Structure 1
């Protein structure tokens, strides 16, 4: 695949930049089959995109404005991949990125399920540590007792840290990826056949 020439900004008559209505990702291929995993036994419209093709499309899509519709322009020689119609390519690309979006949704559901379990364990351990620290403060065991008391408090808060991080932060990259995959699934695919 050649480097894409994705949608650039145009200058208006006043000299200020105005964004294009559509963010374009351009791919120049020798054959439509270059987009797909050649070892995949499924029919053409259900094939997996190759890892290189997916990475290429996703990286360029990440640079486009988030509110901009996406157009994927595929340049093919007229003799390249005669069986690969524009409709087939569009269906295969849409199907792949729809499946990727569903995969991110399932990953988020698994993350929140794991986070609930981790929180239950964390709260139990935190409660136990705070209870032990409180009992040690009652016993007033001198400096060593104080160090031990504070150690239990620290351990309790460290145990709850990861579950809190899962709930507060870990799902954000998944939402970003799912949104991008949904935009790519809805992208308009245009195939240009050039005569060599």
Structure 2
């Protein structure tokens, strides 16, 4: 069985457009509002990380911008960029995890203190006892919402983003002159294949 390859085709004016956004002009038909690497990232997210698929990014550049060894230099630049994004992602996870654990500890302490106080609520009038009991329940869930939200939802988004950057690091980058296909960089739709 042949390995599937997801091809992403980019038409750029220079290789720097892969990481740097040229001045966007909404009146130009081929305007890009993000650096081209973000188009690669979004396509990798859409291609599905669960399928074993190779990614090939084909970059068309004007012939005068193609230099010797540009594919290797581009691959190395992509490796550095993705390594930094993975580091930044892991750093964000670590900070958010600390915040979530701190909120969890505060929530558990609040629960213990609240249960201790509510064990004596029978001595209070019914209205006041119900008010304190219901108020405690609401406050407890509000305090615990952040750690629960982080561990159930936010953490998986960070893991998914890290996998996308690893997929981009494994991608093959091919650079071709724009004239080969008869399409000029100024008239090609960026990020389309």
Q: What TM-score does the superposition give when structure 2 sets the normalisation length?
A: 0.76
Residue 181 (structure 1) aligns with? 165
Tell me the TM-score normalised to structure 1 length.
0.75
Q: What does residue range 147-186 of structure 1 map to in structure 2 within 5 Å?
A: 147-186=131-170
CA distance 1:33–1:149, change in 2 (3 Å): closer
Q: Judging changes above 3 Å, is the alpha-carbon distance between structure 1 residues 32 and 94 closer, same or farther for their aligned structure 2 residues?
A: same
C-alpha contact 2:71 2:173 (8 A) present in aligned 1: yes
When the two chains are superposed, the root-mean-square deviation of aligned CA atoms in Å is 2.5
Shift of 1:33: 2.4
Which of 38, 57, 69 is equivalent to 1:72?
57
Partner of 1:146: 130
Q: How does 1:19-34 map to 2 (within 5 A)?
A: 21-34=4-17
Count of residue correspondences:
168
Query: How far 1:131 sits from its partner (Å)?
Result: 1.8
Q: Which of 72, 89, 95 is the aligned partner of 1:104?
A: 89
**Residues 133, 150 of structure 1: 8 Å contact kept:** no
| 1:115-169 Cα distance to aligned partner (Å, 9 max, x none) | 21111111111222222222213x1422332222322233223222222222222
Residues 96 and 177 of structure 1: is their aligned pair in 2 closer, same or farther, counting only changes over 3 Å? Answer: same
In structure 2, C-alpha distance between the alignment counterparts of 1:56 and 1:81, rounded to whole Å: 21
The alpha-carbon deviation at position 83 of structure 1 amounts to 6.5
Q: Is there any run of 5+ residues in structure 1 with no aligned partner, and where?
A: 1-17, 40-49
